[in-house]
Amino acid sequence: MESHFIELSDIRKVYKDKEVLNLNQLRVRKGEIISVVGPSGTGKSTLLRLIAGLEKADTGEIMIDGEQITNVPPQQRPVVYMFQESLLFPHMNVLENVAFGLKMAKVSKKKRYEKSKEMMKRVGLEGLESDFPHEISGGQKQRAALARSLIVHPKVLLLDEPFSSLDTELRKETRRWIKHLLKSENITVLFVTHDLEEAMALGDRVAVLNKGKLQQLDSPHVLYESPFNPFVASFLQGGIWTEERFIPVSSLKLGRHDNQNGRKAEVIETYYQDGKFHCVLSIEHSEAIITLTTREKVNVGEHVKVFEVER
């Protein structure tokens, strides 16, 4: 039997008569990075806050590394939570910020500063020890926040949109670097994001949530090629869900001639990238929106055909 590092079962959370989370089961393996995606207000952050212990579930159990932690206070959970903003303590310098968790664990000053300096080196913040948070850049802040989280060697790291305050380029760079670091530490991570590309790039598996329920938890490839239900398909814009089956984007092609046998679609946006024209299409008589590429220019508002190709 496969061993699960994190195991949530029958978790239910209600806020003011509104069910925000209802999970039958969520299992994560050790060292795995799970991206959590879904429309806003589907309980992604609530999920992390429950695992962190910042909120209490109404029912259900949470196990981490074989230990029941449902009733363990947040201070004693082997879990660290990181917010979208770096939230460094503004009145402490970077070194003190990084050392905070060790201080709370009553590690002696000499030892904690030693370890913190080491950790700062690992995340590339050498030399910024005595700077204050307002003196360093956004990317550096995120690195410092990560160092602060990793120094207590948590079994699980919870990241709540950690890159959303960074600009696009820095975001990509930071996520590559973070994935590398997390993998080398073999740390188990749950990572909430609203950016699909980021979710796919960072996550070994991706959990799709909707209305408080887990829709599917699979690797990006499986998600795109065989979504469980129409919601997952339309949320990822991964293809067309017909009555009988699902056709992924990878099996679809765009055609412009009426004689072809396919589904009608309208072009709603086009852009040129990577040597191809990308067309965002709204499929007629369905809510599906997909993006296909062509060699020739297509105009917004144009009606085209989408047909399946043999692979």
Partner 1 sequence: MKWFRTSNPYVLMAPAVLITILLLGYGIVMAFLESIKYYNQPTLSIYRELLSDEIFITSILYSLRIAFISTIISLLIGLILVRSLYPVLRSKFPKLIAWMPMVFPHFIWGYMLFLLFSQTGYISSLLNGMGLHDQPNEFPNLFKDSFGIGIIITYVWKEVPFVILMLLPVYEQLSSPQKELVYTLGGRRWDVFWHVERPYVFPVMLETFFIVFAFVVSAYEVPALLGATYPKMIPVISYDWFFGSDWTKQPYAFAAMVILTLFIVLIVFLTYLFTRKGRIHLAQSSGAFHDLQAENRKYSRVLFFVMLGMTLLPIFILVLTSFVQRWTYGELLPSSLTIRGWHEMLWHGPKFIEAVYTSLGISLLVLLLNLLIGLPAAKGLAFHIFQGKSLVETLLLSPILIPSIVIALGVHLTFIKIGIANHWTGVVIVHLLPTLPYTIKVLRAGYERIGKRQEEIAVSLGAGAWGVFRNVYLPQLIPSIRSVVFLVTVISLGQYFLTALIGGGEVNTMAILFFPYFQTTNDAVIASFSILFAMIPIVVWLLIEGTLRLVIPKQPR
Least distance from partner 1 to the Cβ atom of residue 23, Å: 20
Among 1, 2, 17, 90, binds partner 1 (CB under 8 A): 90
- Are 21 and 44 in contact, with CB atoms under 8 Å apart? no
Contact between 152 and partner 1 per CB under 8 A:
yes
Which of 281, 279, 254, 287 is CA-nearest to residue 265? 281
DSSP codes, 189-201:
EEEE-S-HHHHHH
Contact between 280 and partner 1 per CB under 8 A:
no
Least distance from partner 1 to the Cβ atom of residue 164, Å: 14
Contact between 59 and partner 1 per CB under 8 A:
no
Among 83, 177, 277, 307, binds partner 1 (CB under 8 A): 83
Nearer to partner 1, 85 or 308 (CB): 85
Contact between 35 and partner 1 per CB under 8 A:
no
Contact between 80 and partner 1 per CB under 8 A:
yes
Among 3, 130, 250, 291, binds partner 1 (CB under 8 A): 130
CA distance 133 to 145: 10
Among 87, 137, 183, 260, binds partner 1 (CB under 8 A): 87
241 three-class SS: strand
Contact between 54 and partner 1 per CB under 8 A:
yes
274 three-class SS: coil
Residues contacting partner 1: total by CB under 8 A: 31
CA distance 194 to 208: 11
Contact between 52 and partner 1 per CB under 8 A:
yes
The strand pair at 276-283 and 289-294 is best described as antiparallel
* Residue 188 CA, distance from chain mean position: 13
Contact between 74 and partner 1 per CB under 8 A:
yes
Token pair listed for 183: 């993998």
CB atoms under 10 Å from CB of 109, counted, come to 10
Token pair listed for 148: 């602060």
State the residues that interact with partner 1 by CB under 8 A.
52-56, 73-76, 79-83, 85, 87, 89-93, 96, 100-101, 103-105, 130, 148-149, 152
